[in-house]
Amino acid sequence: MGRGPKKISFRGQAAAFTLVEVMVTLTIMGFVLLMIFGVFRLGIAAWEKGETSKEEYQRIRIASQLISRQLKSAVPYKVKTQKAEGDFLAFEGKARSLKFVSALSLRAKKPSGLVYAFYEFRQGEKGGGRLLLYEGRVLNKDFLGENPPEDAVVPIFEGLEELRFEYYQEEDPEKNRTGGWVEEWNAKEEKALPTALRVTLAFAKGEEKAQGVSTVILASLPSNRYEEVRTGPIRRMVPPVTRR
């Protein structure tokens, strides 16, 4: 009778020891699963961020190519005016804005002839500037001095820290002028468009989509001078008569 309780106590101690072992094992497995889940979440977040950055870089590249195409399609359009200064080329280039006439529209789905393009960089109140675009019909008037309606302005880039337009000035020995990039271009004085344009965009470092990205758009202007074509009387060419 004295040996019976000892066997019962031994079995109870063995069962208690097994339960603690199971609890410790489950706790360790829980920590391992938690770590695996955390690493998995970090991997998913990094993948999503990479995909977002990839899409943003792709959007920046496509928008930059479209802007470059429109800049290359700039034409030396002459505005008719009744003022004493006479007619002048519709082109106004500054460090933060650009106004010109182009044969390519970024907003129209179909070719619509010449368009008046107005690019402007605006700094936001809470930081992060925007590059805005306005397109309008080319009319025979001085539209350079007019402000476009706000409801017709479209943002091209957002979250910009800096934007700068530059214009290439050719060397001119007669004017004692060296070639290089300038921040302003007055077509009324130059009587021609610049031979090339350069747009530098720097995105804010605080932006999640494009942190610290810098993009340079370089475009040459083949049609930078205005040439008047005078037509005279058309002479009819008569083929010579051949004798048989």
Q: Which residues 6+ apart lie within 8 Å of 39 measured at CB?
A: none
| 163 neighbors 201 (Cβ within 8 angstroms) | yes
Q: Which residues 6+ apart lie within 8 Å of 143 measured at CB?
A: 79, 90, 116, 136
Q: If we measure between CA atoms, which residue out of 152, 138, 98 comes closest to residue 120?
A: 98
Is 37 part of a structural domain of the chain? no
Q: What is the pTM of this model?
A: 0.69
More confident residue, 31 or 216: 216
Measured in whole angstroms, the distance separating CA 188 from the mean position of its chain's CA atoms is: 29
Is 16 part of a structural domain of the chain? no
Q: What is the pLDDT of residues 184-210, one digit of tens each?
A: 998 888 888 999 999 999 988 754 555
Q: What is the DSSP letter of 169?
A: E
Residue range(s) defining the domain that contains residue 67: 62-220
Is 39 part of a structural domain of the chain? no
* Rounded distance between C-alpha atoms, residue 235 and residue 208, angstroms: 68
* Rounded distance between C-alpha atoms, residue 172 and residue 18, angstroms: 95
Domain total of the chain: 1
Q: What is the pLDDT of residues 67-81, one digit of tens each?
A: 999 999 999 988 877
Residues written for the chain? 244
Measured in whole angstroms, the distance separating CA 106 from the mean position of its chain's CA atoms is: 13
Is 129 part of a structural domain of the chain? yes
Is 42 part of a structural domain of the chain? no
**For the chain, what is the mean pLDDT?**
78
CA distances for 29 relative to 24, 26, 40, 210, 213, angstroms: 9, 5, 16, 40, 43
Is 183 part of a structural domain of the chain? yes
Is 244 part of a structural domain of the chain? no
Is 55 part of a structural domain of the chain? no
